[in-house]
Structure 1
């Protein structure tokens, strides 16, 4: 039996990463349990992160298709549908295969602005079996929103999603 327990409250009154991030991952795991549809799983993962983390305005996936990144499931406002590999924060992360934590997107050369209220961005590449699947993109209206602790935990969540979701080939 699938268990649903996403709550409208945080696991504590504080935003302590040691409590919050495991709670987010547990919620994601409960949504993925027994579900094989990649769109449903990616959509619930984006919504869970967006809903439970503070000061975010966009969370979503850009997936590698025909050597470009195509918009996948997301939480937030409408977004750019195609990003060239190597362009913007997402394309650069895909090209380098490395997480990019941008404190102020207005200082990032070639930043692609989807939402004028976004000021910082964390992009994590997704790999499965050594192949680039795409990226997990997380935006915030707060400059410097993502620190090393956020990056560490969100990379763990991204790794879980990359390995667990049955992405299309």
Structure 2
């Protein structure tokens, strides 16, 4: 079981700048190092209308861009709700960047009532992400938001 309270303290200490790009890169590297059984961790940024653009990430090359109307990341941006998907192959409009990915957790980042982007985590294990993982990753996203100047994504 992942100790999200410990990870929160570690991420707070790691993010020692207000620069969102540095913090996003550090957050991705930290998540890949500390969270078991994930094969991709990254940010997609909302820099064009109704579209997510690839940002800092760790893992295999990724799909870009992703419209708000498609996939799990698009659903998180469109609904502004965290998406926890046990089997991505059961999602009709899933965008398969890495065929090894089986489950996904996507947390929207909303600043001043606008979607700034999303944090996307993929796992090669079906049903990898629990409710505890959702709450823990949402807390880590809050730490990223608090530490970073997100007045503009790019």
Give the equivalent residue in structure 2 for 1:99: 82
Give the equivalent residue in structure 2 for 1:5: none
- Is residue 32 of structure 2 the alignment partner of residue 28 of structure 1? no
**Deviation readout 1:125-163 (Å, 9 max, x if unpaired):** 001222211111000000000011111111111122123
Q: Which has the larger radius of gyration?
A: 1
Q: Is the 8 A contact 1:124 1:135 kept in 2?
A: yes
- Is residue 148 of structure 2 the alignment partner of residue 133 of structure 1? no
Task: Provide structure 2 residue ranges, at least 5 long, that are not aligned to the other structure.
Answer: none
Q: Distance in 2 between matches of 1:146 and 1:32?
A: 24
- The TM-score with structure 2 as length reference comes to 0.93
Give the equivalent residue in structure 2 for 1:58: 40
- The TM-score with structure 1 as length reference comes to 0.85
Task: Provide structure 1 residue ranges, at least 5 long, that are not aligned to the other structure.
Answer: 1-14
Q: Is the 8 A contact 1:24 1:49 kept in 2?
A: no
Q: Distance in 2 between matches of 1:24 and 1:86?
A: 33
Structure with more contact order per residue of length (Cα contacts < 8 Å, sep ≥ 6):
2
Q: Is the 8 A contact 1:127 1:162 kept in 2?
A: no
CA shift for structure 1 position 167: 2.3
Give the equivalent residue in structure 1 for 2:55: 72
Aligned partner of 1:82 among 62, 65, 86 = 65
Q: Distance in 1 between matches of 2:145 and 2:71?
A: 22
Give the equivalent residue in structure 1 for 2:29: 47
Give the equivalent residue in structure 2 for 1:146: 129
Aligned-CA RMSD value: 1.2
